[in-house]
Chains A and B, each alone.
Chain A
Amino acid sequence: MAVATPHSIERSSVIISVFSTTPGIGKTITAINLSAGLAHEGYKVCLCDLDLQFGDVLNYLKLSSTKTVAGAQRELLDHPEKFRVRDFLIDYEHEGLTFSILPAPLYVFDAYQTDVELVTDIVTRLNFYDFVILDLNSMFSALNLAMLDISAVINYIGVIDFLPALKNYKIGYDTLIRFEYEESKIRLIENRADSQKLIDGRDVEKLLGEPFYHRLPNDYPSVNKSINSGQPLMFAAPDSKLTKSFDELVGLYTNRQPTIAPEEATGGGFLSKVKGWFGF
């Protein structure tokens, strides 16, 4: 299923997708702060809200727009010769920092009509950006698979606080591997990593056979401030531990810092319980 599209040869921007197999675990927050962080480093960034039916990028940034990916698709179909992807982007700007956004459709019906090939075409036309960040939804849909195909890096996020969430994280990871995405392309990100919970992150690493690439701390108050003010964390909560953690993640993607060695995994009580469940 993971077939590279012809577009992937021409592109010059780095496409980073933000994906998960459980909804509501911080994809949009991650996508926004990754975009803001990369823009802060001086890169040209475009954030695409591809949670087409119920996207939250504009909500979280307190923006509204009639320019959307649905409009872009319509124009690309009707007037391919004069289509300019810029006409369907809006800018987030604050204190001199700016990045572009390709908003999700306004209506569910429009979202339902989107075509995978056209959206792929639109995204690959964003190649004048240094980074293109894709905020996806939590399914293995045709669109998401096409987006994962053209991504240089897949940010695969999980919050491992609930047994079904762990199951879905493991199943999702196994599926990505079965679909032949290179392991090096999949970056495992644990969100709310330090919250009080039943399941230990290190046990999850053992279960997956792969260390987390990065851990984001649990910082509900800062996320709340960010959403309420409509600003990325660097403005809404500049000194928070989560802001710092996102800064580190951005550093990993821009080679600003050396990769942090993964923690040594230790044995845990919970793992033994779930072992049988996953059949090994």
Chain B
Amino acid sequence: MAYRAIVVDDDPNMLDNIVNTLKRSADFEVASSYGHASAAINPAAMFHPDLFLLNVEDEETLNMVSDFVDKFPGAYILGTMNQWDPIIARKTSEGGATGCILKPLTARDILEYIQLYSIRGEHKPAKLISFFSPKGRAGRTTLAAILALLIAEKTGERVALIDADLQFGDLPIFFDLEPKRTVVEATQDIKLLTPVSFAPYFYPIKDGVELLSSPDRPEYAELVAPESLTEVVMMAGNIFRYVLIDLPSGFNPITLNVCRVSNLVFVTTMINSGFEIKHAKKAMEMFDSQADGRRKVHAVFTRVNPFTEENRQKISDQLGYPVDDMIPNEYKMISVANSGRLAKGLPMDTLLMKTISGMADKIIASAS
């Protein structure tokens, strides 16, 4: 069955170009084409279209994306643009579109994008989640990895793990991987990449979960421009419904930039000497001072002992912020992570896994 397409573009040459491209392909038939979204939205219903190509670089069209989504819930709605613009891509996604595609396009491009966006999951904006810790050794990486696996399993949607702990990233070792392409190459290439060409930079770990690895030498961290890393994170949001980013410890241009574009930041802390709560408080205050109202910052404490509500209150009083999540200790976890078997079997029957599973449920609920 060929896709019945409606094309909207205010550039008449481009409109002709796309229409002719589709006409030459057996996979598509052009139902109709319009110069403006406002002219298209009502008559389009007459053709029972199942594919829209809307020029979202035109502001009026971009603003009407959600109207098309409401009116044609079963159709693929692709935003077209001449140059990849992460902000426009996000707005298109917020409107509920299937995703964005670069012009000029071929029939094969459209099929590839439809395929990519179909396995991504629901047609909703990506949830970008950063894992921050003040000093490190907080269980941050383990938590990010387990959440990625659980979210993918529970939703069937695609989840990305980005190892942005550039000097000493541990995710490749957790999953026993030695990737050739890393976040360094991704940030260097990002200006030229599209969702389809970026996807192969990720390595499959398990059904629905893929990893963008950290480099294998600490000095390569210097090659990563913080602004390019935020573009990488945002681009990943077009391929994956959830993007989990493991950050280096402390505040630096990398952590600040990635947290700036994240929807959710977990400030992860493990209590050892007790002074870690003091550090977490400093970190929470730092995030507070830059609050933009869009981003949520949650305090997470790992290996909490005793694992009681009284203790939660005690930590919270010292922290000056609510303890959003607390996670119990589980010694089995150390040996699982140690042996690169994280993707193969999590100790599901433990309190630790039940607690993290609850966290995953909360994240999923907030993303829908």
The answer to whether B338 touches A21 (Cβ under 8 A) is no
Interface residues on B, range: 35 or more
The answer to whether B282 touches A138 (Cβ under 8 A) is no
The answer to whether B286 touches A56 (Cβ under 8 A) is no
Residue of B nearest to A25 (CB): B137
Q: Check: B273 CB closer than 8 A to any chain A CB.
A: yes
Q: What is the bound-complex CA distance between A53 and B173, given in angstroms?
A: 28
Q: Check: A175 CB closer than 8 A to any chain B CB.
A: yes
The answer to whether B272 touches A24 (Cβ under 8 A) is yes
Q: Check: A139 CB closer than 8 A to any chain B CB.
A: yes
The answer to whether A198 touches B338 (Cβ under 8 A) is yes
Q: What is the bound-complex CA distance between A220 and B135, given in angstroms?
A: 20
The answer to whether A139 touches B286 (Cβ under 8 A) is no
The answer to whether B135 touches A137 (Cβ under 8 A) is yes
- Contact for A108 among B273, B286, B338, CB less than 8 A: B286
The 0/1 profile, CB within 8 Å of B marked 1, for residues 166-201 of chain A is: 011001100100110000000000000000001000
Looking at the assembled complex, report how far the CB atom of A122 sits from the nearest CB atom of chain B, in whole angstroms. Answer: 21
The answer to whether B218 touches A175 (Cβ under 8 A) is yes
The answer to whether A227 touches B273 (Cβ under 8 A) is yes
The 0/1 profile, CB within 8 Å of B marked 1, for residues 124-153 of chain A is: 000000000000011111000000000000
Q: What is the bound-complex CA distance between A164 and B342, given in angstroms?
A: 13
With known contacts A163-B173, A164-B170, A53–B136 Cβ distance under 8 A:
no
The answer to whether B273 touches A138 (Cβ under 8 A) is no
The answer to whether A107 touches B218 (Cβ under 8 A) is no
Secondary structure at the A interface, as helix, strand, loop or mixed, is loop
The answer to whether A162 touches B338 (Cβ under 8 A) is yes
For residues 224 through 250 of chain A, which have their beta carbon under 8 Å from a beta carbon of chain B?
227
Which of B248, B282, B289, B335 gathers the greatest number of chain A CB atoms within 10 Å? Answer: B282
Closest 10 CB pairs of A and B: A23-B136, A24-B137, A164-B170, A59-B275, A54-B279, A23-B137, A108-B286, A168-B168, A163-B338, A54-B135
- Contact for A138 among B216, B249, B279, CB less than 8 A: B249
| Count of interface residues, chain A, beta-carbon cutoff 8 Å | 34
- Chain B residues in contact with chain A, CB under 8 A? 134-137, 141, 167-168, 170, 173-174, 216-219, 221, 248-252, 272-275, 278-279, 282-283, 285-286, 289, 334-335, 337-340
Secondary structure at the B interface, as helix, strand, loop or mixed, is loop
- Contact for B218 among A53, A54, A109, A172, CB less than 8 A: A172
Q: What is the bound-complex CA distance between A23 and B218, given in angstroms?
A: 15
The answer to whether B282 touches A108 (Cβ under 8 A) is yes
Residues of B within 8 A of A24 (CB): 135-137, 272
Residue of A nearest to B176 (CB): A277
- Chain A residues in contact with chain B, CB under 8 A? 1, 21-25, 51, 53-54, 56, 59-60, 107-109, 111-112, 137-141, 162-164, 167-168, 171-172, 175, 178-179, 198, 227
Residues of B within 8 A of A172 (CB): 168, 218
Q: What is the bound-complex CA distance between A137 and B249, given in angstroms?
A: 10
- Contact for A162 among B168, B249, B334, CB less than 8 A: B334
Looking at the assembled complex, report how far the CB atom of B184 sits from the nearest CB atom of chain A, in whole angstroms. Answer: 15
Looking at the assembled complex, report how far the CB atom of A145 sits from the nearest CB atom of chain B, in whole angstroms. Answer: 10
Looking at the assembled complex, report how far the CB atom of A28 sits from the nearest CB atom of chain B, in whole angstroms. Answer: 9
24 sampled A-B residue pairs with Cβ under 8 A: A22-B168, A24-B136, A53-B250, A53-B251, A54-B134, A56-B275, A59-B273, A60-B275, A107-B282, A108-B283, A108-B286, A109-B286, A112-B251, A138-B168, A139-B168, A139-B249, A140-B221, A162-B334, A163-B337, A163-B339, A168-B170, A175-B217, A179-B219, A198-B338
The answer to whether A171 touches B136 (Cβ under 8 A) is no
Looking at the assembled complex, report how far the CB atom of A47 sits from the nearest CB atom of chain B, in whole angstroms. Answer: 17
Residue of A nearest to B289 (CB): A109
